[in-house]
Amino acid sequence: DQQVKQNSPSLSVQEGRISILNCDYTNSMFDYFLWYKKYPAEGPTFLISISSIKDKNEDGRFTVFLNKSAKHLSLHIVPSQPGDSAVYFCAAAGSGYALNFGKGTSLLVTP
Amino acid sequence: GAVVSQHPSWVICKSGTSVKIECRSLDFQATTMFWYRQFPKQSLMLMATSNEGSKATYEQGVEKDKFLINHASLTLSTLTVTSAHPEDSSFYICSALRPPSGAYNEQFFGPGTRLTVL
């Protein structure tokens, strides 16, 4: 049963514009959320995270928003750059350190 | 970030053979490592948690006798796929938890191993 869902398998954005990647979760016990970036044939690399006690966390061009009542989080990238093209995974954690991943959203930033 | 390596990066084997995949944390000691598998266009699914010096903890539905995990040192965990079959073909990714905080974002992933079983 998929507890973390990324319903958009792909997204195409023009360079310089905002990229918004969405993620929904079903388990209310999750209290920490992370976004990972993954290139083909490589492992995921950590991008940004947010604790359930916050509703926003910002790091440079990347901002993650958390709406606990809706069990929804989103990753905003602004401005988007061609080098941001990759697959982005949303992950959630509750008890323990194991992560529950979504299926990923493939972002393509076009020049 | 920290470095986690996997070997081999790609392996092709015949059905019925066993394959060993190594996961190493190169610049830190990891008491806890994780093994994930990813099918095409699917999410990373946690298979098991590997704890140094003790038995691995397997997720529901993962056969512990088929996927043998050994975490014999603080820098090495191995996953052995025994009697591999074509349905075991997948991308296997390990991760290592970096102490001391062991925070969620201190989990570093290896580059993955592509297993193809003919």
Give the pLDDT confidence of B36-81 residue by residue, as tens digits. Answer: 999 888 888 999 999 888 889 999 999 999 999 999 899 999 999 9
C-alpha triplet B25, B36, B110: angle, nearest 5°: 30
Decide if B93 and A44 are in contact by the 8 Å CB cutoff.
yes
Per DSSP bridges, beta strands B4-7 and A105-110 are unpaired
Give chain B's end-to-end CA distance (angstroms, integer). 36
Decide if A99 and B104 are in contact by the 8 Å CB cutoff.
yes
- As a whole number, the mean pLDDT across chain B is 91
| Res A98: pLDDT | 80
Instruction: Identify the DSSP state of B20.
Output: E
| Res A96: pLDDT | 72
**Chain B interface test: which of A10, A25, A42, A64 (most B C-beta within 10 Å):** A42
Nearest alpha carbon to residue B49 among B59, B60, B63: B59
The rounded distance, in Å, linking the Cα atoms of A76 and A3 is 22
Candidate from A42, A96, A97 with C-beta closest to B111: A42
Q: What's phi and psi for A90, nearest 5 deg?
A: -95, 140
CA Rg value for chain B: 13
Write b or e for each residue in B89-115: b if 16 or more Cβ atoms lie within 10 A of its Cβ, otherwise e.
Answer: bbbbbbbbbbeeeeebbbbbbbbbbeb
The rounded distance, in Å, linking the Cα atoms of B81 and B86 is 12
| Res B102: pLDDT | 65
Per DSSP bridges, beta strands A10-14 and A105-110 are parallel
Decide if A93 and B112 are in contact by the 8 Å CB cutoff.
no
Q: Are A103 and A36 in contact (CB under 8 A)?
A: no
pLDDT band with cut points at 50, 70 and 90 for residue B106: confident
Kindly give the confidence (pLDDT) of every residue in chain A, 111 residues in length, as a single tens digit, with 9 standing for 90 and above. 789 999 999 999 999 999 999 999 999 999 999 999 999 878 899 999 999 999 999 999 999 999 999 999 999 999 999 999 999 999 998 877 788 999 999 999 999
Candidate from A93, A96, A101 with C-beta closest to B43: A101
